[in-house]
Amino acid sequence: MVPDVHETRISALLGAPLPEAFYRRSADEVAPDLLGAYLAVHPAGQAPRVGRVVEVEAYVGEEDAACHAHKGRTRRTATLYGPPGTAYVYLVYGMHELFNIVCQPEGVPHAVLVRAVEPVAPTGADPRAANGPGKLTRFLRIDRGHDGGSLLAPPITLHPGPAPRRTVITPRVGVAYSGRWASAPLRYYDADSPAVSRPPKGRVGSG
DNA sequence: ACGCGGATGCTA
DNA sequence: AGCATCCGCGTG
């Protein structure tokens, strides 16, 4: 495939991938630092797909009742125990693939769920085409085939990008079952992004 | 083997 | 507010 003008712009936009040391920290430290970063996917033989991360959640290990590793290591959660900078991709509700980034040293199951990105490439996409954890994997063409893969080199990488002007912190979405962890402030998003998955106020009732 | 319910998204 | 759709995990 011949690199065109568009592809050249993309490579100019992306610096070196975030290194393993970046991910070798607690997920609640990594998560806010990921806001603004570029998430790039290079599907074989296709044009790269890139989004700017604007919403994330931290899942902080076996003690965290909302974390998949809460029940310990199983076949499904084995990926969470892998090295920092590993992709953890799984299916929810029988139809949506969710993309996570494994944090902490190998053996410590922390992860950051990416909940929304602003489309960067291909250009011309609906700005809200990736404003949700299930939607962003479809937009970027990420699926369970990527589970367990390294994020330190293609086909999936993260790169430094413009940090948000203001970061909002709230409880995580969809974890009401997790007791005191349901209210833990572990969701972070760019206050100025139109691509955040939910409005600041809930949609319960009309006022 | 079997049943339950979930880190969602679209439609009414 | 309801539903689609499937797999991991707990229980028998």
Mean pLDDT over A166-187 rounds to: 96
Residue A75 resides in a domain: yes
In the complex, which nucleotide's C1' lies nearest to the CA atom of residue A176?
B7
How many Å from the CA of A70 to C1' of C10? 14
Who contacts A107 (Cβ-Cβ below 8 Å, separation ≥6)? A81
Which residues 59-78 on A are within 7 A of strand C at the CB atom? 68, 71, 74-77
Query: Is the C-beta of residue A93 closer than 7 Å to nucleic acid chain C?
Result: yes
Query: Would residue A45 count as lying in a domain?
Result: yes
Query: For residues A115 and A126, what is the distance between their CA atoms, to the nearest angstrom?
Result: 17
Q: What is the extent of the structural domain holding A74?
A: 5-190
Nucleotide whose C1' lies closest to the alpha carbon of residue A57: B7
Instruction: Flag whether A196 is in a domain.
Output: no
Query: Residue A207 domain-assigned?
Result: no
Helical (H) or strand (E) element with A12? helix A5-13
Q: Looking at the domain assignment, is residue A197 inside a domain?
A: no
Cβ neighbourhood burial of A56 (10 Å; 0-12, 13-18, 19+): buried
- Tens of pLDDT, residue by residue over A24-72, are 999 999 999 999 999 999 988 889 999 999 999 999 999 999 999 999 9
Query: How many angstroms is C1' of C11 away from CA of A148?
Result: 29
The reply to whether A177 Cβ lies less than 7 angstroms from strand C is: no
The Cα–Cα gap between A90 and A76 comes to 8
Give the predicted TM-score (pTM) of the model.
Answer: 0.93
Q: How far is the CA of A177 from the C1' of B4 (A)?
A: 14
Domain count, chain A: 1
- Tell me the pLDDT of chain A averaged across its residues: 92
Q: What is the pLDDT of residues A95-135, one digit of tens each?
A: 999 999 999 999 999 999 999 999 999 999 999 999 999 99
Q: How many helices (H) and strands (E) does chain A have?
A: 4, 8
Looking up residue A45, the CATH number of its domain turns out to be: 3.10.300.10
